Chains A and B, each alone.
Chain A
Amino acid sequence: MQPTPWTVIAIYFVVALVVAGAICVIPGLFTRKRPTKEKLEAYECGVPPTSQFTGRFPIRFYLVAMLFVVFDVETASFYPWAVRLRQLGLFGFTEMLTFIIVLGVGYAYVWKKGGFSWR
């Protein structure tokens, strides 16, 4: 079997996995565990935890993630076009300009709605 770039990367991945696994296992091998109640509590500036951890967080972060998906797909679609842009010439440019204008309308809408302001 001849090496392709991807089999080589797979071998590299296995080696990196071994290193990462070692880092995951080593802590605690050379030390004794002496857990106490205070040590195991979540940190809260030296006082007992005042509120229960519920895993809730502001909805803003969710909105950012949604917007990211929209614009990231767009970014990914630029790459194949960019590789061939010289050959595509003005046709390729106008096609992408149309795409960006359509996208720009959505972008302006989100901006107007306050999707990018953090409050």
Chain B
Amino acid sequence: MMHVPEWVLTVAIKSGVLIFIVVTSFAYLMLTERKMLGWFQMRLGPTWCGPWGLLQPAADAVKLVLKEDLTPGGADRFLYKVAPALAVLTALMAYAVIPFGWYPNGDPIAIASPNVGILYILAVASIGVYGITLGGWASQSKWSLLGGIRSTAQMISYELAMGLAIVPVVMLAGTTSLAGIVAAQAAHHLWYAIPLLIPFLIFGITAMAETNRAPFDLPEAETELVAGFHTEYSSLRFGTFFVAEYVNMITVCSIRALLFLGGGDGPFVSVHPYLSVLWFLVKVGFLLFLMIWWRATLPRLRYDRLMAFGWKFLLPTAVTNLLVVAAIVSTMGSR
């Protein structure tokens, strides 16, 4: 019998618990969004399942599992079935390196903390394009295909500005480790959103485009493309794309909180280090609230304007800002 080291089991259990928490928070993020959109539009939102509609996610899950799983006749059957799983897999992978806070001895509370955490996140986010693109292509329907390639073009265009918005943070912190970036901010209690306000805003805009959220939800623009890349999907496979989308929402908000809002830094963390987890979650929740608010407020962009905004405005702004920050940092000298 093969001997499995104890730490392997510990890591596996931790990973399982973390994934469970992430998927549960997806369910309640979706409910919160529906509730809040309701309030924004002078409605009540879901109220029937359980008190205040709290059991609505469970009801939705049961409904989706019991629906017929259809594969369109012309579809590429293998890719059609694998694409949603691929989308959710890449969405979950980012959580392996996110530090949720720190232990009293200063170690980050994370599954793993590699020294190139931010590059790892960018790499995983790039693979995330495949789930949607393959799903749209494999359906062999013109709406799905258009939604899929729209999504690809949009995500890769905004990824550039996102990558460039992160570089100034790396300059100030002098490290690509997520825990290191948080520690650099906590050391001076200076959250990078203050000196790096422009990258903070650019990151917020690109985050919405990367997750295909309104006003950048053109891959699933229902007035133009029926439902975009998931037009042909039904049952739980349809729901899986939503899992991926909402998990990605939580991811980008977590990254934004880590890079620009000091991660777990906040009042009283030096006295009670475990409070860092609470502060981190509060910040992520606030950023998620902003994303839902924007969805309720802003109309969808036209496609040519979306591309022009990304390439002609965000990209040069990000590069110019990067040069200004670089000029300041390089004259400050080494500490």
Contacts and interface: CB of A to CB of B under 8 A. Distances in A.
Interface in A75-107: 75-76, 78-79, 82-90, 92-93, 96-97, 100, 104, 107
Interface residues of B, number: 91
A93 B159 CA distance: 24
A30 B65 contact: yes
B66 A42 contact: no
A81 to B, nearest CB: 9
Interface in B81-122: 81-82, 84-86, 88-89, 92-93, 95-97, 111-115, 119-120
Given A12-B111, A75-B163, A21 B74 contact: no
Contacts of B235: 27-28, 31
Main secondary structure of the interface of A (DSSP, over half): helix
Given A16-B93, A28-B235, A64-B157, A93 B326 contact: yes
A102 to B, nearest CB: 13
A47 interface: no
Nearest to B240: A23
B335 A86 contact: yes
B156 A65 contact: yes
A109 interface: no
Interface stretch (B47-55, B258-266, B301-309): B301-309
Contacts of B164: 75, 78
Contact of B170 (A19, A76, A83): A83
B319 A19 contact: no
**Which interface residue of B84, B85, B97 has the most chain A CB atoms within 10 A?**
B85
B322 interface: yes
A99 to B, nearest CB: 11
A29 B78 CA distance: 17
Judged by DSSP, the binding face of B is: helix
A111 to B, nearest CB: 7
Contact of A26 (B65, B71, B323, B329): B65
Interface stretch (B4-12, B37-45, B190-198, B205-213): B4-12
A79 B15 CA distance: 29
Contact of A16 (B19, B114, B315): B19
A44 to B, nearest CB: 8
B10 to A, nearest CB: 9
Contacts of B81: 24
B149 interface: yes
A34 B69 CA distance: 10
A42 B81 CA distance: 16
B66 A51 contact: no
A22 to B, nearest CB: 9
A85 B171 contact: yes
Nearest to B160: A71
A117 B303 CA distance: 11
B140 interface: yes
B334 interface: yes
A64 B335 CA distance: 41
B73 A40 contact: yes
Given A5-B112, A57-B146, 12 more contacts: A5-B114, A8-B112, A11-B8, A27-B69, A31-B66, A55-B140, A64-B156, A68-B157, A72-B156, A76-B163, A79-B176, A82-B170
User: Lowest 6 CB-CB distances: which A-B pairs, in order?
Assistant: A118-B304, A28-B69, A5-B114, A42-B141, A40-B73, A24-B85
Interface of A: 1, 3, 5-6, 8-9, 11-17, 19-21, 23-24, 26-28, 30-35, 39-45, 51, 53, 55, 57, 60-61, 64-65, 67-68, 71-72, 75-76, 78-79, 82-90, 92-93, 96-97, 100, 104, 107, 111, 116-119
8 contacts: A15-B12, A34-B68, A40-B70, A45-B226, A53-B140, A72-B163, A82-B326, A85-B174
